[in-house]
Amino acid sequence: MLMSSADRPAKLAYGPNGFRVLSAGHYVTCAVTGEQISLETLRYWSVERQEAYATAEIATRRLLGQA
């Protein structure tokens, strides 16, 4: 059975001003909580760690080493 891009995660390269899609998909997974984040709502990520975060609070906790 074929999966549409909406059914699978995207692979992204995170940069300081945006991200580049390496592999088509509809969402990425939050590195801390595991929840799915649609590409349309993705706002928080770490360039150094190359990972996405669901909220600003989660991103801040992760970057401070508290998550």
Decide: 29 and 37 in contact? Cβ < 8 Å: yes
The tens digit of pLDDT for each residue in 44-60 reads: 999 999 999 999 999 99
Domain ranges of the chain: 11-64
What is the Cα–Cα distance from 59 to 4, expressed in whole angstroms? 29
Q: Is the pLDDT of residue 1 over 80?
A: no
CA proximity to 26, closest of 39, 13, 35: 39
Give 17's pLDDT tier (boundaries 50, 70, 90). very high
Q: Is the pLDDT of residue 6 over 70?
A: no
